[in-house]
Chain A
Amino acid sequence: MIELRDIHKSFGANRVLRGVNLTIPSGSSMVIIGGSGTGKSIALKCILGLVTPDSGLITLDGKDVTKGDRDAFLARFGMLFQGGALFDSLPVWQNVAFRLLRGSLKRPKAEAREIAIEKLRRVGLKPEQADLYPAELSGGMQKRVGLARAIAAEPEIIFFDEPTTGLDPIMAGVINDLIREIVTEMGATAMTITHDMTSVRAIADNVAMLHDGVIQWTGPVSEMDASGDPYLAQFITGSPDGPIEAVR
C-alpha cells in the first residue's frame, strides 16, 4: 500500500502541492485526474524520489520511502513516461531489457533479449521490431515499447504518466486495454495520471481528483459520476462553467 500524508511541494512562489493525502491499496488501480499544471506528475515523482517534497511523509507498505535501500525500492517499480522516455541510442529490445542487462537484476544477454521480445509480443509488437531504434517507431509503438519496458522486470507497482496523450482514440483504447489487462494479470498496484476520462473508466478501480494542490475527491470509479462534487462533476463533463476557473 502506498500512502501520501500531507505532502507539500513548491517551486519558488508556485505552491503546487498543498497537503496531498492519498492511499493506494495494494493490487488496486488508482487513477489521478486533474487539470494541467495541478501537480499530478509531481505527486507521482515524489513517490519515486525524482522530486523531493518540502514536507510530508510517503510510505510504501508502512515504511518511509526515503529510508532504506534505494535500489531495492526502485526495483519494485515500473514506469511508463508520458513521452515514452526511450533511450534513443539503444535498440528497442535493449530499451525493454535495460534493467535486465545491468545492476542487481542482470541476466545473460540472450535471456534478457528473449524476455524483451516476449514483453514486446505482450504489448502487440513483433520480434522483428526489437532491433529497430525508437526514432524508427510511431508514437503508438513507442508507448507500447515504454509499456513493455515498464513491465519487463515484473514490478509490483506500475506508474503510468499520461499513457494516452498524443494518441488517436483507437490507439488510446488499445493502450488502455493493455494497461488494464497487464495490471490485472500481474496483480500489480497501478497509479495512472491522465486527463482522458475514457482512460479513467477503462483503467481505474479508484479515482482521485487533484485540484488546488489537494485531493478534492477520491473514491471508487463506480461512484465517480454520482459523487456530487462540483469540481469532479465539472471535470467529467468538461464544462467551462463551475468552480474550476477556465482561462479563455
Chain B
Amino acid sequence: MSWLTAFLAAIGRAVMGGLALIGRLAIYGGATLSHVVHPPIYLKEILQSLLNVGYFSLPVVGLTAIFTGGALALQIYSGGSRFNAEAVVPQIVAIGMVRELGPVLVGLMVAARVTSSIAAEIATMKVTEQIDALVTLSTHPMKYLTVPRVLAGLIMVPLLVGVGDIIGILGGYVVGVRSLGFNASAYLQNTFDFIEARDVVSSLVKGAAFGFIATLLGCYYGMNTGRGAQGVGRATKSAVEAAAVLILAANFLLTSIFFSL
C-alpha cells in the first residue's frame, strides 16, 4: 500500500500547493487593487506601462489575428461545404473571433510577450537588490512596479482585443473575398448584421480579465523569484505557464457566465 499512499500524498501536495498559490495570488491581487486607489500614483510609470503593454503589443496581436481570421475562414468554408453551409463563413468568422478567438489569442500573446517581460524584469530587479533599493528610497515596490503594469493590463488588453477582433475579421474578409469568391459588401453586411452588442461586451470583459491575469502573474512571480539567473528563468517560465493556464480557465468561466445570461 505504500506506493498508493505515496501517490495520494503527491496528489494532495499538488492540490494543496495549487490552492495555496491561488490564495497568495488573491491576496497579492487584492493588495494591488487597494494600492490603485491610494496615493501616490506614479503617472509616468503608468504611461510607460500603457505603451509597453498596449502599443508595443500591436504588431504581434495584429499578425496573430489576421492569420487566424484567414485560416478560420478557410476552415469554415471547407467544413461548411460538407453540408452546403459555405455561406455562413462571414457570420462564423465574426462570432468566432469576437466571442472566443480574439480574446483568447490576444490573452495568450500578451501572456507570452508581456508576462514574460514583466516577470524577467522584476525578478532581475529583485536579485540585483533594486527592489530593496526602492524600499530604502521610500518607494513602495507594489505602487511603483505592480500597480502601473496591472493598470496597463486592465486598460490596454481590452483595446488590443478590440483591435484583434477587427483585424481577425478583416483576415477572414480578405480570404473570403479574394480566395472564396464572396461578394465584398455582402460579406461585411453579413458580419455586422450578425454581431450583437453582448458579443462585443463579452470580448472586452474577457480582455480586461486576461490583461489583469497576465500582468498580475508577471509581477507576482517576479517579486517572488528565487536567487540568481536560474531563479529569474524559473520565475519567468512559471509566470507564463500560470498566466496561460489561468487565462484559459478564466475564459471557460467567463464564457459559462455569458452563456447563462
Same complex for A and B? Answer yes
Q: Chain A contact residues (Cβ within 8 angstroms of B): what range? A: 20 to 34
Question: How far apart are the CA atoms of A149 and B125 in the complex, in Å?
Answer: 17
Q: Which of chain A's residues 49-93 have a Cβ closer than 8 Å to chain B?
A: 49-50, 71, 74-75, 77-79, 81-83, 85-88
The winner among B132, B138, B139 for most chain A CB atoms within 10 A is B138
Quick one: which of A74, A88, A102, A149 contacts B135, CB cutoff 8 A?
A74
In the complex, A99 has a CB within 8 A of chain B: yes
In the complex, B130 has a CB within 8 A of chain A: yes
Quick one: which of A77, A82, A104 contacts B136, CB cutoff 8 A?
A77
Closest CB of chain B to A206's CB: distance in Å?
A: 23
Asked if residues A81 and B132 are in contact (CB atoms below 8 Å), the reply is yes
Question: How far apart are the CA atoms of A180 and B137 in the complex, in Å?
Answer: 22
In the complex, B78 has a CB within 8 A of chain A: no
For A88, what are the chain B residues with a Cβ–Cβ distance below 8 Å? 130
Asked if residues A83 and B40 are in contact (CB atoms below 8 Å), the reply is no
Quick one: which of B42, B136, B139 contacts A48, CB cutoff 8 A?
B136
In the complex, A98 has a CB within 8 A of chain B: yes
Closest CB of chain A to B153's CB: distance in Å?
A: 19
For A149, what are the chain B residues with a Cβ–Cβ distance below 8 Å? 137
In the complex, A103 has a CB within 8 A of chain B: yes
Question: How far apart are the CA atoms of A81 and B128 in the complex, in Å?
Answer: 9
For A83, what are the chain B residues with a Cβ–Cβ distance below 8 Å? 128-129
Closest CB of chain A to B118's CB: distance in Å?
A: 13
- Contact pattern, B 97-134, Cβ under 8 Å of A = 1, otherwise 0: 00000000000000000000000000001001110110
- Chain A binding site: helix, strand, loop or mixed by DSSP? mixed
Closest CB of chain A to B66's CB: distance in Å?
A: 32
- Contact pattern, A 25-42, Cβ under 8 Å of B = 1, otherwise 0: 000000000000000000
Asked if residues B138 and A99 are in contact (CB atoms below 8 Å), the reply is yes
In the complex, A107 has a CB within 8 A of chain B: no
In the complex, A45 has a CB within 8 A of chain B: yes
Question: How far apart are the CA atoms of A78 and B136 in the complex, in Å?
Answer: 7
For A105, what are the chain B residues with a Cβ–Cβ distance below 8 Å? 138
Given the known inter-chain contacts A102-B40, A103-B40, please indicate yes or no for A45 contacting B132, CB distance below 8 A: yes
Given the known inter-chain contacts A83-B128, A85-B128, A102-B40, please indicate yes or no for A74 contacting B133, CB distance below 8 A: no
- Contact pattern, A 133-150, Cβ under 8 Å of B = 1, otherwise 0: 000000000000000010
Closest CB of chain A to B254's CB: distance in Å?
A: 34
Closest CB of chain A to B3's CB: distance in Å?
A: 29
Closest CB of chain B to A107's CB: distance in Å?
A: 14
Quick one: which of B42, B130, B136 contacts A74, CB cutoff 8 A?
B136
In the complex, the chain B residue whose C-beta lies closest to that of A87 is B130
Asked if residues A74 and B138 are in contact (CB atoms below 8 Å), the reply is yes
Asked if residues A98 and B137 are in contact (CB atoms below 8 Å), the reply is yes
Interface residues in chain A, defined as those with a beta carbon under 8 Å from any beta carbon in chain B: 45, 48-50, 71, 74-75, 77-79, 81-83, 85-88, 98-99, 102-105, 149
The 6 closest A-B pairs by CB, nearest first: A85-B133, A85-B129, A74-B138, A79-B136, A81-B129, A99-B137
Apart from A81-B133, A103-B139, A149-B137, what are 17 other A-B pairs with CB-CB below 8 Å? Answer: A45-B132, A50-B136, A74-B136, A74-B137, A81-B129, A83-B128, A85-B128, A85-B132, A86-B130, A87-B125, A87-B130, A87-B133, A88-B130, A98-B139, A99-B138, A102-B40, A104-B138
Interface residues in chain B, defined as those with a beta carbon under 8 Å from any beta carbon in chain A: 40, 42, 125, 128-130, 132-133, 135-139
A-B contact list, 8 entries, CB within 8 Å: A50-B132, A50-B136, A82-B129, A85-B128, A85-B130, A98-B137, A102-B42, A103-B138
